[in-house]
Chains A and B, each alone.
Chain A
């Protein structure tokens, strides 16, 4: 048998140029076999067929500033529908002179969300900042204090409404869902059966019917003279609905936990709540980050269903713009715009969750 001796010059050889750089990438990913080369060409051809007219329409022939009437003359996209109606799309029926208030509230909300992305910043102070931020946001929206005119909540609409329903909806549904999942795993038969009934009932009903119930049936049961805000009722319906789905996802994570983890915690003398809080939930919730985020993303998009109880969320305000005769017929542009808003929010959630997964990975 030949003896292989490693000499020095073999150690630092560069890889052959044909496997690195753009050429290497193309060879490895697009043309590694004859049929892959064929597929690549086919896909490039289809992309060209589809994308070229789209780019033509959306960018090259587009109208950016012309009026609706002028738009109707040209074949390109009519983006002026967006900025001509941006105030109504974003803020609905909120009185225009006061629209700086929801705008400020949204800026505060986004700043807080971005600050909370970084796990190293999670602290008591951040919590207090959130509380202060929430109070300020509420004050800005509602007014009635410090010389701000009072704006009733039936005038709230547009993006602030969508964000409010989803951020508070998700923030409340997640812990509630975790609690429900723990309840479903409980050894106490009463708690267990109550949570099972709750989860199965809610999951067996479409969100639309829950929203209808909250809007129409629920007030019938209230004593006379007492009304509960419509937005609040919709909010509660969204929370209840999302929590049931979160609960089932979290239960999956709980079931994936090896029995040994419970036993180790038990043998150290930790009680039930310590075991759950310190050992089981941190691991179980981490496992189910991807499906949880799916549930949360779909809940975020489902907030658009509040249109059926006549709340003007951002999708509804966009749609209303289209009923203006001047802008009729430009639904593609309007829906593309509002689609972008939804996409940005969902993409934010999804990248954040991926980052969280990487940060929480501990090598097993």
Chain B
């Protein structure tokens, strides 16, 4: 990895925010799960979101590509506002890639077909081009030799790398990661994190919900701590881990960094 630039050197671009969340509220029935969320993400910025379970961190990133519907406030992705307008939702989903905790590969399709599905059907890329693209990204997550296999024949770590490659095939501007390593056996966490780190090297805009604090320290521009549906604290990784401002953050960190 010596030839690539150090991650710290890749700064977020000072341009306009690629994701803007303004005064976001969401309820599940009577339960107020997101309260007054405000967030701006600049191109190439990498944000790690952490917090106790039930704090709304997954829900927040799922709102960004409308897997969850918000009830108040605004979410603007690359200049397009999320509303009930289906065209807008489709446009945003094309530009926002998502990686799930449980991979969610399509088990009835081969690895290659999993990757080409989006480009062929959504972007109308010709099949052979889509396959080249897919092989390029499979190469990149170092799993090209498995292209003809089915997801069920791969290990968890391999499946998650395929899932990342599947998202990348859509050439997204932003990648969302929803606890990408929590469902993995411990020895497979590193191979997935390595892929994510190399994505960071290439300047991908990333929002990552994770408890991998090592990853947060080395890769994130900002670390966000959420609790009870609110953003409690946003800070640089150094400050976040060494001098957390809020008592709640300190408590959380003391519990996970034993």
Contact = CB atoms under 8 A, between A and B. Distances in A.
Contact of A267 (B65, B106, B150): B65
Contacts of A268: 93, 117-118, 122, 166-167, 170
Given A264-B105, A269-B94, A283-B108, A363 B153 contact: yes
A152 interface: no
B176 to A, nearest CB: 8
B102 interface: yes
Given A267-B96, A268-B118, 4 more contacts: A265-B106, A267-B65, A268-B117, A268-B167
14 contacts: A260-B100, A260-B102, A260-B104, A263-B98, A264-B98, A264-B104, A266-B65, A266-B66, A267-B96, A270-B122, A278-B121, A362-B108, A363-B150, A364-B152
Given A266-B67, A286-B108, A363 B93 contact: no
A264 B106 contact: yes
Interface of A: 258, 260-261, 263-271, 274, 278-279, 282-283, 286, 360, 362-364
A263 to B, nearest CB: 5
Interface residues of B, number: 27
A261 B104 contact: yes
B126 to A, nearest CB: 17
Contacts of A282: 108
B151 interface: yes
B98 A364 contact: no
Interface string B39-70: 00000000000000000000000000111000
Nearest to B122: A269
Interface in B103-126: 104-108, 117-118, 121-122
B100 A364 contact: no
B97 interface: yes
A317 B57 CA distance: 70
Contacts of B98: 263-264, 267
Given A261-B106, A268-B122, A269-B122, A362 B150 contact: yes
B100 to A, nearest CB: 6
B108 A266 contact: no
B90 interface: yes
A302 B136 CA distance: 55
Which 4 pairs from chain A and chain B are nearest by CB?
A364-B152, A363-B152, A264-B104, A260-B104
B67 A263 contact: yes
A364 B67 contact: no
Interface of B: 65-67, 90, 93-94, 96-98, 100, 102, 104-108, 117-118, 121-122, 150-153, 166-167, 170
A362 B94 CA distance: 28
A282 B150 CA distance: 15
Q: Among B97, B105, B108, B153, find the residue whose CB has the most chain A CB atoms closer than 10 A.
A: B108
B105 to A, nearest CB: 7
Contacts of B93: 266-269
A360 B67 contact: no
Contacts of B117: 268, 270, 278
A358 to B, nearest CB: 14
B53 to A, nearest CB: 18
A270 B102 contact: no
A268 B96 CA distance: 8
B195 to A, nearest CB: 18
A278 B66 CA distance: 21
B108 to A, nearest CB: 5
A163 to B, nearest CB: 32
Nearest to A264: B104
A282 B90 CA distance: 23
Contacts of A274: 121-122
A268 B123 CA distance: 10
B137 to A, nearest CB: 14
Given A269-B170, A270-B118, A271-B90, A263 B100 contact: yes
A269 B152 contact: no
A102 to B, nearest CB: 40
Given A260-B102, A362-B108, A363-B153, A269 B118 contact: yes
Contact of B107 (A263, A269, A278, A283): A283
B97 A362 contact: no
Q: Among B97, B104, B105, find the residue whose CB has the most chain A CB atoms closer than 10 A.
A: B104
A360 B152 CA distance: 13
Contacts of A266: 65-67, 93
Given A263-B100, A282-B108, A269 B90 contact: yes
A230 B77 CA distance: 60
Nearest to A274: B121
A157 to B, nearest CB: 43
B190 to A, nearest CB: 24
Q: Among A267, A274, A363, find the residue whose CB has the most chain B CB atoms closer than 10 A.
A: A267
B115 to A, nearest CB: 10
